[in-house]
Amino acid sequence: MDTPSFTANGLGRDTQVTHRQSLWVRGSAVLWCYRALGHQRELPIFIVYSFVNRPSLLDISPQRSLIRALIEQGRDVYLLDWGVPTQHDSQRHLAEYVVGYLDDAISAALADAGLKRIDLLGVCQGGTLVLCYAALHPRRIRRLVLMVTPVDFATDSDRLARYAVAMDLSKMRAGGGNVSGRWLKLGFQALKPFGSRLNGLLAMQDARNDDSLLEHHRCTARWVADSPDQPGLAFEEFITLFYKENRLAAGSLVMDGRAVDLAQLRMPVLNIYALQDHLIPIESSMALGSLVSSHLYQSMEVNTGHMGVFTARQAHLTVPARIQLFLSS
């Protein structure tokens, strides 16, 4: 069914540009389906985004849409959008999202595609959740793509990790509710207090004579300004298990009573990371290479920042092409 478009915090026009339909809904979560374009047909891909910010970054403008690039390759795209948590979501465990919501959404996509396995792509925190899922359900995943995904949460250059470790989670969840997205946004901005805003202003200045490029930068600015609340208990568990205790890289993570062992990954993996990423250091992402079988592992470095992997012109020319090569090989 078609679902009405949304506007982010009253910041203007619809923040998604490619036509889509909702395939599955559970609570605040929606599984969007973008149908393939053209006559060529490839296997579909299932994307899992982070709880932090909106997945509209993947479809930010007609000129720089990862989703558009993927459907133009001839593949259906399924996108799991976690939505905006309600008070009912504040007490959901992280494992419920991974072994419950994600598993059910993948089942819906597999049924729609008539397949038993699917290609999976995880973005940032969504990539971390995808790794957990793939380790628990390796037979359901054909190939795995990760983009700017943290794996080792205790690298020396990880400023975000130091910020997360210092969080007073009891104060952030006063009353046991959800975590304020506005509060988190201020924390992220503090990691790069001047650079991000200055770069945005300079980009708009450079694009002043190009209407389409100027609109792209405006869309990006609207995306940055929109920070949804975080599901309280799941956020607290993610910060504790991953950032404070680094259990994924240490091999001691347990989810829903089962060990999450990355050595159980049996599918080819493409790990894409950004050389100038101030949120996810390359060392954090690159750590995956030592945790999975070397003959299954490939990597791609992109000379841009965290957002630039999805919005920079050069990345838009190279990243979808590399994903296509990986999925089709």
pLDDT digits (tens, 9 = 90+) for 64-117: 899 999 999 999 999 999 999 999 999 999 999 999 999 999 999 999 999 999
**Exposed/middle/buried for residue 119 (C-beta within 10 Å: 0-12, 13-18, 19+):** buried
Given this model, what pLDDT does residue 12 score? 35
List, for the chain, all residue ranges whose pLDDT scores fall below the cut of 50: 1-14, 193-198, 200-205, 207
> What pTM did the predictor assign?
0.87
- 135-157 residue pLDDT tens: 999 999 999 999 999 999 999 88
Contact 152, 245 (CB under 8 A): no
Question: 315, 57 in Cβ contact below 8 A?
Answer: no
CA dist., res. 127 & res. 141, Å (int): 14
pLDDT at 174: 67
Neighbours of 36 (CB within 10 A): 17
- Report d(CA 309, CA 318) in Å as an integer: 10
Domains and CATH numbers, the chain: 21-328 (3.40.50.1820)
- CA dist., res. 107 & res. 65, Å (int): 26
> What is the rounded CA–CA span in Å between residue 72 and residue 317?
13
Facing residues of 48 across strands? 80, 122
Question: Rg for the chain (alpha carbons), in Å?
Answer: 19
* Cα 32 to Cα 116: distance, rounded to the nearest angstrom: 19
Residue 43 burial by Cβ neighbours in a 10 Å radius (0-12, 13-18, 19+) = middle
Positions marked catalytic: 124
